[in-house]
Amino acid sequence: MKTSDFYYDLPPELIAQTPLERRDSSRLMVLDKETGEVQHRHFYDLPQYLCPGDCLVLNDSRVLPARLLGRRDPSGGAVEVLLLVDRGENCWECLVRPGRKLHPGQKVVFGDGSLLTAQIKEELPGGNRIVEFFYEGIFLEILEQLGKMPLPPYIKAELQDGERYQTVYSKEVGSAAAPTAGLHFTKELLAQIEAMGVKVCYVTLHVGLGTFRPVKEEDPTEHEMHSEFCMISAQTAQTINETKKNGGRVICVGTTSCRTLESWAAEDGTMKESAGWTDIYIYPGYRFKVLDCLVTNFHLPESTLIMLVSALAGREQVLNAYAKAVEERYRFFSFGDAMFIC
C-alpha cells in the first residue's frame, strides 16, 4: 500500500468556496459498500436510507473563532495567531505568523488593546508557540468579538455568516475546524429522522488542524497521526449498545464521530462512557468494531480521511465513486456535497 494509491484528479473549480443557501439541498452520493453501486440523490433524501431502530451519531463540537489578527507591540507589525490547544492558566498552543518575528517575550495587541493582549512564552519543536493571553471577563466572549473562523486553506472566499461553518446542533466549543459532514443537517431534517424512530445521539471530538495535514510519507502507515480530544457520554454509550443489541445500524455522521466511537469501543463493539485523547489512524485493513454506515463529505487526495473511507468501502470502490463525483460535477470538501456509505 502506497500513499499514491489514494490519489485522484480534482479540477480546482470543484472545490466549494461557499455554502449553499439551504444546508440540506446539497447533493448526496449513496455508495453501497458491498457492491460499489452508486446512486445520485440530495441530502434531504437521506431519511429514505434510514430505518427505525438505527442510531445516528453526531459530533456536537463547536468551532472556536480561533483566528486572531493583531499587531506586535511596540513595532505595530501585523500578526496572525491561531489558537490550537488550551494549555490552561490563560496559555494556548498557537500557530503564529510571521514566525520569524514572534519570539519568547514578544508582546501582541489585538483590536485596540482594551479587550485582549498577549505575550509569546515559549517556542515549541515544530514551530508552534505557547502564548499567554491577558484580558478581563470571559475569554470565549472576547473571542466572539475579536476572533474569526479558521477556514481550511483551500477556501479562499470570505465567509459572510460564521454560523454556516457551524452545525445546527453544535454545542461544545473547542474545534479548530468544523465537523463538516454535519453541516448538511437542518433542525427540521433531524426532527423528521427522529420521528421515523431513528435514535439521534451525540459525541464530542474537538477537531484539530492536523486533520488537514497531508500524508508525506510514501508508506502511509509511517504517517504520524495527530491527537484530538473526544468524549462519549454514558447516555450515548447506552443508546449505541441498545442499537447493536436490537439489530439496528450505527451510522456515524463524519469521520470525527467514527474515530471517536472506534477509539473507545471494546473488541465486541460495546461502548461505555469515555473521554481522552485519540490518535486512532484508520486505513484499509482496519476492522470496524461498532460503525456500520457513514455520512461524510468528499476528502482530499492522499489524505488520512480518504484512507478511512477506503477502509470502510474498499479503495477501488471509493476511487471509482470519486471519479463519478468529478464527472457529475459534485462540489468537494468542507462546503461541498456529501456521501452516504451504507
| Residue 8: count of CB within 10 angstroms of its CB | 17
> From residue 266, how far is each of 237, 245, 274 by CA, in Å?
11, 14, 11
Could you tell me which residues are beta bridge partners of residue 56?
200, 251
pLDDT per residue as tens, the chain (342 positions): 999 999 999 999 999 999 999 999 999 999 999 999 999 999 999 999 999 999 999 999 999 998 999 999 999 999 999 998 889 999 999 999 999 999 999 999 999 999 999 999 999 998 999 999 999 999 999 998 999 888 888 998 888 898 999 999 999 998 989 999 999 999 999 999 999 999 999 999 999 877 777 899 999 999 999 899 999 999 999 999 999 999 999 999 999 999 999 999 999 999 999 999 999 999 999 999 999 999 999 999 999 999 999 999 999 999 999 999 999 999 999 999 999 999
Contact (Cβ atoms closer than 8 angstroms) between residue 258 and residue 294: yes
Query: Which pTM does this prediction carry?
Result: 0.89
Give backbone dihedrals phi and psi of 323, rounded to 5 degrees, phi first. Answer: -60, -40
* Cα 322 to the center of its chain, rounded Å: 20
Kindly give, in sequence order, each residue whose CB lies less than 8 Å from that of residue 219, ignoring residues fewer than 6 positions away.
Answer: 1, 2, 3
DSSP conformation letters of 46-85 = GGGG--TT-EEEEE-EEE---EEEEEEETT--EEEEEEEE
Best CA proximity match to 253, nearest among 324, 203, 288? 203
Contact (Cβ atoms closer than 8 angstroms) between residue 63 and residue 47: no
- Separation of alpha carbons 108 and 270, rounded Å: 48
